[in-house]
Amino acid sequence: MSQPLVSILTPFKNVSDYIEECLKSIINQSYANWELLIVDDQSTDNSYTIVEKFSKSDNRIKLYKNEGSGIINALQKAFSESSGDFITRMDSDDIMTQNKLEVMVNQLNKFGKQHVALGLVKYFSKTGISDGYAKYEAWLNRLTKEGANYSEIYKECVIASPCWMLHRDDLLACNAFNPNRYPEDYDLTFRFYEHGFRCIPSNELLHYWRDYSTRTSRTHEHYAQNYFLDIKLHYFLKLDNDTSRPITIWGAGYKGKNIAKALVERNIKFHWICDNKKKIGKDIYGVKLQPFEDLKAIKNPQTIVTVANDTEQKNIVSYFDNLNMKPMTDYFFFC
């Protein structure tokens, strides 16, 4: 079996409490042919000193300073210094299972280029995991087991940022980490989708995902809800919107209003429906809200659904089914 070099890209910043455990999980991998390109993103604690100590005792660990600022610049630096045939990312506060690299390498050796190797993930935290994170973990793992990640790509990021691997040529083909578009993991997932890279189904738990109050995805503005909505709309208009068909927004809450505002700013006309009697008939951003039943009268629409309630989503799916409308062609859940 082929033993290609795996390049692990890892930005880090102020993770002195966690970085040692992360590095040990990499060093203890059952698959030994790897290099770690680890980039300090202007840490102010002693994270750099900890990594430097490890790099001096293991020449597979290659330590750099970020030449710019932020995770994307750090990833760009790490990738530019890498030489592996296979590329993966690791977060500096997380833990790999001992067989993670081995399993992913075997997947890529079996399926070849234009495939993404994945694994199941599990959140852990000293303070316990919230219902929201537990729900996301279960949803993400369900998709990964089926290799059906793209089927719900507009809901949320469908590939865990530190739990993928693919051929170097494929990462180059999708121009990864360029331009600077956050959230970078969601943007990269859409690039995989755009290029038709197939997700390899996996039933193996390969990654422990640490949660804590100061984690970057919890605290940095780049991971705020509006950034996610911007990416969703950007790629919908680029990849799945049929410009010969009218766009309809279903829902007039925070997300619905943000999508509507963004379409108005792009001078894209749309219909707007909801089932909230208090909002029906109102004019928002120059568009009058209609009852959802009016969808039947709109000729061949593509609908962006911004209703988050689980029960309501099931009812909406049933409504679309009755109209013989198909997901990811006729309607798209944005939450």
Q: Domain with 183 in it: what CATH number?
A: 3.90.550.10
Which residues partner with 8 through β-bridges? 36, 88
Report if residue 1 sits inside a domain: no
For 9-22, how does the pLDDT look when each residue is reduced to its tens digit (9 = 90+)? 999 999 999 999 99
Is the distance from CB of 85 to CB of 5 less than 8 angstroms?
A: yes
> Is this structure's pTM higher than 0.85?
yes
Judge whether residue 168 has pLDDT over 90: yes
Domain identity same for 29 and 170 = yes
Residue numbers of the domain that contains 182: 6-223
Domain count, the chain: 2
Domain identity same for 113 and 26 = yes
Instruction: Give which of 309, 311, 305 is closest to 330, Cα–Cα.
Output: 305
Kindly give the pairing relationship between strand 86-89 and strand 164-167. antiparallel
Instruction: Give which of 169, 250, 218, 135 is closest to 7, Cα–Cα.
Output: 169
Domain identity same for 281 and 214 = no
% of the chain with per-residue pLDDT over 90: 90
Instruction: Region of 9 please: left (phi>0), alpha (psi -120 to 50) or beta.
Output: beta
Is the distance from CB of 103 to CB of 200 less than 8 angstroms?
A: no
Domain identity same for 278 and 188 = no
Kindly give the pairing relationship between strand 198-199 and strand 120-124. unpaired
Write down which residue in 208, 223, 238 finishes a domain: 223
Residue located via tokens 């660990």: 61
Q: Where do runs of H (alpha helix) occur along 42-99? A: 47-57, 71-81
Distance CA 298, CA 224 (A): 33
For 10-57, how does the pLDDT look when each residue is reduced to its tens digit (9 = 90+)? 999 999 999 999 999 999 999 999 999 999 999 999 999 999 999 999
Burial (CB count within 10 angstroms: exposed 0-12, middle 13-18, buried 19+), residue 310: exposed
Judge whether residue 97 has pLDDT over 50: yes
Write down which residue in 223, 251, 274 finishes a domain: 223
User: Where would I find the beta strands (DSSP E) of the chain?
Assistant: 6-12, 34-40, 61-65, 86-89, 95-96, 115-118, 120-124, 164-167, 198-199, 205-210, 247-250, 270-274, 283-284, 287-288, 290-291, 302-305, 331-333
CATH of the domain at 322: 3.40.50.720
Is the distance from CB of 225 to CB of 286 less than 8 angstroms?
A: no
Domain identity same for 235 and 316 = yes
Look at residue 128 in the predicted model and tell me its pLDDT: 87
Domain identity same for 38 and 186 = yes
Domain identity same for 91 and 131 = yes
